[in-house]
């Protein structure tokens, strides 16, 4: 993206301004204040040199970032991030025990995934009960071994 800027100097002190913001503030909305609203001014036709007032619009930071991703200007962070060192929030390979509501052991499973397959429950439901987020799920209590 082309970012045209202008430098204004007052008493040997330089002030830098984005040309799109100056044009928008001058010809469209003089109340525009980035420090308060946090909005960005973009060119609607994707031509950074076309700064006519009818070609400018305000967007949020999120909208500006989505637009950059859609135009293949930047890659989303999660596409390029090395996730090998990230901590997992949950694991489906932990051994788990299934109990009835009276606390009697029904069966031990080598993993949450295996318990999920055999009992035909979602693995996230089993994990949530094992973590203590729920007391039971479909009449079963689950605990990590």
**Domain end point (choices 79, 109, 129):** 79
Number of domains in the chain: 2
Q: Whole-prediction pTM value?
A: 0.50
Q: Per-residue pLDDT tens for 120-139?
A: 998 899 999 999 999 999 89
Regions of the chain where pLDDT drops below 50:
none
According to the model, what pLDDT value does residue 83 have?
78
Q: Judge if 70 and 18 occupy the same domain.
A: yes
The CA–CA distances, whole Å, from 79 to 63, 69, 76, 85, 93 equal 19, 11, 6, 15, 25
Q: Judge if 115 and 52 occupy the same domain.
A: no
């Amino acid at each position: 993206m082309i970012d045209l800027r202008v430098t204004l100097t007052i008493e040997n002190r330089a002030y830098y301004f984005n040309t799109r913001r100056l044009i928008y503030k001058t010809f469209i909305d003089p109340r525009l204040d980035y420090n308060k609203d946090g909005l960005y001014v973009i060119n609607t036709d994707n031509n950074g040199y076309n700064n006519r007032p009818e070609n400018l619009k305000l967007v949020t930071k999120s909208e500006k970032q989505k637009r950059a991703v859609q135009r293949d200007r930047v890659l989303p962070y999660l596409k390029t991030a090395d996730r090998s060192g990230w901590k997992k929030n949950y694991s489906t390979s932990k051994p788990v025990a299934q109990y009835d509501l009276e606390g009697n052991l029904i069966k031990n499973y080598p993993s949450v995934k295996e318990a999920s397959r055999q009992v035909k429950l979602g693995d996230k439901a089993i994990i949530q009960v094992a973590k203590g987020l729920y007391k039971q799920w479909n009449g079963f209590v689950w605990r990590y071994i």
